[in-house]
Structure 1
């Protein structure tokens, strides 16, 4: 679950602009520039459904050491992104890049200079990690593994049927999230029923092992789990 909170000065964005910008942030966040590095469409759709954007317009906005913010000045932005702590480090670079891009597109559409966001600190992106067990849904706390299970469980069958015919040699599909994995570079593989599976991260590997009753320790002794 990802929560994006956008803070903008009152009047900086009209209602239609706020709606467009919120949806644009989600679209860019879920997109990938590398086709071989994307999750299965079913998983992305589920992730989108758990991503929410709230737009705030604080009535008081003070910048230290400066005069009060003038409504006539180009707006400043603050974006706070809350995500499970286990995902924060890996996500931060991508999140900061694409959310800044979305803000720049909104600035350009409003007739303002979008490049100022890259030359002046007028858009701050705060990516914060929520401690394990501090997110809750369905009436109970949910850790990062629980969230991954929730995101992928309804789509496992579709992912399992995903054709590997067009994959480059040495590549496989992560059986949990549907991400394309290069067996030559991944450090996460596991053997089950005579097949070596590759995983995008340790959480997907753990979920697969638990769901299929595979002992990670035995696979390590056999030299399969890396």
Structure 2
């Protein structure tokens, strides 16, 4: 679940610019081309990621109205479950910055600073309206990964040697001292993110070790 709203001065970004920015962000946040991610999960991750644009009139900064021909200011708000915010913020900001830079380079725009803002907003459990019904960060993960977990339980998931499987979303995780892991019924599992580990632990009644 990534709900991304991108505001810019009215008329500053052409349709092609918007398509470029949206495609770059979606690719980065939903793991396009990531062979180690389960397609069952990524299909839902793509479906639950939304990017929209708002062209705002009369955009003014402390220096006055925005100058035509200069790199237009961009103000991005990313809404996601509060439980994901700290872990996801840096990754989200990096991909959005990359997406904006791609358009800047195409136009020959140079940013002087203070004109690109990315705010990551977390929504509290119970205030997330998945399909219009109250949800939590954990239930969003459960919803997004249901198809993968069904395939996993039916034995339709193969795992290469030397990798751990995130049983929640299907991501393959490198085993090692820095891996985020849990053991359940004698099986060692790896997790790609805290949200996946928390959802799995809660469902199976496992205590997550303190960081």
* Normalised TM-score (structure 1): 0.80
Q: Secondary structure at the match of 1:188?
A: strand
Once residues 64 and 190 of structure 2 are traced to their aligned partners in structure 1, the CA distance between those partners, rounded to angstroms, is: 56
Task: Compare CA radii of gyration and give the structure with the larger one.
Answer: 1
Unmatched segments (≥5 aa) in structure 1: none
How many residue pairs get matched?
207
Residue 92 of structure 2 is aligned with which of 90, 95, 107?
95
Q: Secondary structure at the match of 1:57?
A: strand
Unmatched segments (≥5 aa) in structure 2: none
Once residues 41 and 103 of structure 1 are traced to their aligned partners in structure 2, the CA distance between those partners, rounded to angstroms, is: 27
Residue 187 of structure 2 is aligned with which of 173, 178, 195?
195
Alpha-carbon contact 1:81-1:125 (below 8 Å) kept: yes
Mapping of residues 1-226 of structure 1, within 5 Å = 1-31=1-31, 38-64=36-62, 66-109=63-106, 111-113=107-109, 116-117=110-111, 120-159=113-152, 161-164=156-159, 166-168=160-162, 171-181=163-173, 182=175, 184-192=177-185, 194-209=186-201, 211=203, 214-216=204-206
Q: Measure how far apart 1:121 and its partner are.
A: 2.4
Alpha-carbon contact 1:183-1:198 (below 8 Å) kept: no
Q: Measure how far apart 1:18 and its partner are.
A: 1.7
What is the alpha-carbon root mean square deviation over aligned residues? 2.6
Once residues 6 and 18 of structure 2 are traced to their aligned partners in structure 1, the CA distance between those partners, rounded to angstroms, is: 9
Are the structure 2 counterparts of residues 201 and 12 from structure 1 closer, same or farther at C-alpha, using a change threshold of 3 Å? closer
Are the structure 2 counterparts of residues 72 and 25 from structure 1 closer, same or farther at C-alpha, using a change threshold of 3 Å? same
Are the structure 2 counterparts of residues 215 and 59 from structure 1 closer, same or farther at C-alpha, using a change threshold of 3 Å? closer
Are the structure 2 counterparts of residues 80 and 206 from structure 1 closer, same or farther at C-alpha, using a change threshold of 3 Å? closer
